[in-house]
Amino acid sequence: MKRIITAAALLGLVLLLSGCGDQKSPLENVWHEDFSDTPQVVELRNTGTFRAHQIHKADNGLYYAYGPSGTYGDTEEQLIFACSGSNYSADDDVEIEAQTIAQKLKEQYPSRMERYYRVEGDILWLYDNPDKRETPDVPLTGKFHRGTPKECSDFKGKDYFGYYSESVKN
Q: What is the pLDDT of residues 33-84, one digit of tens each?
A: 876 677 889 999 999 999 998 887 777 777 788 899 999 999 888 999 999 9
- Averaging pLDDT over each range in 88-92, 111-115, 144-148, which range is the top one? 111-115
> What SS3 state is found at 167?
helix
Nearest to 168 by CA among 22, 53, 33, 24: 24
**Cα dihedral 58→111→28→117 (10° resolution):** -100
Count of C-beta atoms within a 10 Å radius of residue 46: 13
Nearest to 142 by CA among 24, 67, 65, 35: 35
Average pLDDT over all residues of the chain? 76
Residue 150: the pLDDT is 65
The span from the CA of 19 to the CA of 81, in Å, is 30
Q: Higher-confidence residue: 144 or 105?
A: 144
Q: What is the pLDDT of residues 125-138, one digit of tens each?
A: 999 999 999 888 88
